[in-house]
Amino acid sequence: MNLKYLIASLLFQLSINASYFVQLKKPATLDKLLTSDDQIEAENHIRPFVKQIFSFGSFEGFSGNFTKDIIKRLFSSPYVADIVPDYTVRINDYETETNLPVFLDYETDFNSPRHLARLSRHSKLPSNQSVNYYYDPKYKGENVNAYIIDTGIYKEHPEFEGRAISGADFTFEGPGDFNGHGTHVAGIIGSRTFGVAKDVTLVEVKALDRLGQGSLTTVIAALEFAVNHRKENNVSGVVNLSLGAIKNNILNQAISVAVSSGLVVVVAAGNANIDSCLVSPASAPEAITVGAIDDRTDSIAGFSNWGACVDIFASGVLVQSLNNQDINKPTILSGTSMSSPSITGLTSILLQQGITAANIQPKLIEMSTNDIINSKSLATKPLTPNRVAFNSVFKSDDLYPLEEDIDKYNFRKILQS
């Protein structure tokens, strides 16, 4: 049996009305589809059930609650490329730690959060002494938009210094962050103390609700907004997707179109300790997929997805960032949701430096530290790259690696770089 019709037969076993996402083969064909359907004799027509329409670049689709007879007709339509349930999409955090010490110094990058220090260092971080974050003060993401497709942002937090702005809300909750995940992610990207790119503009694009859940419809609507907003404002832009769902071609295709429009799309690999090629958006070929390491050991985090679809790793265990409820108390979270925004911040810096969107992924790989991840943590993860993000800002304390790491890395390369 044709796979398309096998899927259709399974969908028919669902309830009378269910929510689906329909992708069309070509742009500007929705009117043709609806008009042709209006002309047939049927108990239910498509048009009244369409809730939301999407059209950006070469991507066109719609979603709604459709009856079984409508779904059957859609599967046989020459205008339809794909139909999937309107999958639930969830945040990719793993755990919360609340009884751990945090850094409360908002004045300097000395004694910085570990995820920042790891980003600006080739060698392994010391586990029992202070660490510093090194960056070029000329490049902090100025005039770049980072679109945080998440649970919202506590935009009034003083750490954002007025750089967090409202974009769009597809949850109908209204602006703001009632979960905390989006604020934490935005803080890693661009807050004053915890942020990689300290001058980037943070655009709130709310696709996930207070429970950290959304749908294929809300996420693709958010992508459509980001594509159009970047074009209208004529700025460089990067999207952060710290979320995940079952693998589906429609979301992956929407990301492909967003990238072809000039956006960079950075996504979390996921937290199920499985091959990242089995989930979306981590499996999207045009996305930059980020896995998580534990920067205390430089091992792949036990929860992190892995495999050939991962492009790069960054700190994702016990990562400090902003609290959406208390401006004086940072929050510590773990997950690939926390590693992805480090790369989004670094991408913002590269865009400001003039690296084109198409060249960001190869540039990140070129800059990265290779063969530094603990080999034991890679042993059962085939095709996983041994690659940790590095911002290429070289400082002298990186010349003195931990003694146990001297044989693992040729530090002469650092001197020559």
> Annotated catalytic sites, by residue?
150, 181, 337
Q: Which two three-digit tokens encode residue 8?
A: 């259709």
Which phi and psi (to 5°) does residue 20 adopt?
-135, 160
Please, are residues 245 and 221 in contact by the beta-carbon 8 Å criterion?
no
Task: Write the secondary structure of 3-68 as one string of H (helix), E (strand) and C (coil).
Answer: HHHHHHHHHCCCCCEEEEEEEECCCCCHHHHHHHHHCCCCCCCCHHHEEEEEEECCEEEEEEEEEH
Distance, CA of 72 to CA of 34 (rounded, Å): 15
Of 191, 248, 260, which Cα lies nearest the Cα of 217?
Answer: 248
Parallel, antiparallel or unpaired: strands 288-294 and 264-268: parallel
- Note whether 166 and 155 are within 8 A (CB): yes
Residue 306 DSSP code: B
CB distance 283 to 252 below 8 Å: yes
Q: Give all strands (DSSP E) within 87-190, no chain letters.
A: 88-91, 95-97, 144-150, 164-169
**CA dist., res. 170 & res. 175, Å (int):** 10
DSSP-assigned states of every residue in 381-403: STT---EE-------GGGGS--G
Q: Let me know: does 52 contact 21? Beta carbons within 8 Å.
A: no
Task: Count the Cβ atoms, other than its own, within 10 Å of residue 401.
Answer: 19
CA distance 415 to 378: 28
Alpha helix positions (H), 234-371: 249-260, 336-352, 360-367
Q: Give the Cα separation of 31 and 26 in Å (integer).
A: 12
